[in-house]
């Protein structure tokens, strides 16, 4: 297999895209949450009441990062933690009262960001690209679950 720069490109897109997203949030007047917190809110807008572990799986955020972010978000009224009645070890995260007010703003900024990412792309190209990205994501998730490198097999 040839050496690929894809990982470098993905990392640059993530870093630069994150900066652009923060600028768009600032320009929209959003001051209740930042980009990474928006990922958490987006996961909860899709399915309220997720555990921190489930949010981590959906967002890619590490548990240590997620815990401190959830603390700040809870203090800001964006989320609330509720111990599960079925399993006391599990804490569910629910949208707080301020979260619904942010949803339209986050959606508008996300739509603008999507327009930036895919300017000049045809719909078929976007579908194909996202399909390939999902395959790469599945590969790295599998490698993350395994204790040993796939190259050592």
In a domain, 2, yes or no: no
Residue 132 lies in a domain: yes
Convert the pLDDT of each residue in 54-82 to its tens digit.
999 898 888 888 999 999 999 999 999 99
Overall pTM surpassing 0.85 (yes/no): no
Domain residues for 47? 7-145
Q: How would DSSP label each residue in 62-121?
A: -HHHHHHHHHHHHHTTSEEEEE-SS-TT-EEEEE-TTHHHHHHHHHHHHHHHHHHHTTT-
Contacts of 96 (CB under 8 A, 6+ apart): 73, 74, 76, 77, 78, 79, 80
pLDDT band at 12 (very low <50, low <70, confident <90, very high): very high
1 within a domain of the structure (yes/no): no
Q: Is residue 153 part of a domain?
A: no
pLDDT for 16-60, tens place per residue? 998 999 899 889 887 778 888 888 999 999 999 999 999 998 988
Average pLDDT of the residues in 97-113: 88
Q: What CATH number does residue 18 fall under?
A: 1.10.10.10
Q: Is residue 151 domain-resident?
A: no
Using DSSP, state whether 51 is helix, strand or coil.
strand
Report if residue 150 sits inside a domain. no
- Considering its fold, how many domains does the chain have in total? 1
């Amino acid at each position: 297999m040839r050496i690929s720069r894809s990982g470098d490109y993905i990392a640059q897109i993530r870093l630069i895209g994150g900066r652009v997203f923060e600028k768009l949030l600032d320009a929209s007047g959003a001051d209740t949450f930042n980009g990474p917190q928006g990922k958490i809110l987006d996961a909860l807008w899709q399915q309220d009441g997720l555990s921190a572990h489930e949010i981590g799986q959906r967002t890619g955020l590490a548990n240590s990062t997620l815990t401190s972010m959830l603390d700040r978000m809870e203090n800001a009224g964006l989320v609330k933690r509720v111990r599960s009645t079925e399993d006391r070890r599990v804490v569910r995260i629910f949208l707080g009262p301020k979260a619904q007010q942010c949803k339209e703003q986050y959606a508008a900024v996300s739509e603008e960001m999507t327009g930036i990412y895919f300017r000049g792309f045809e719909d078929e190209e976007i579908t194909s690209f996202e399909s390939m990205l999902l395959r790469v994501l599945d590969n790295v998730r599998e490698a993350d679950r395994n204790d040993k490198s796939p190259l050592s097999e």
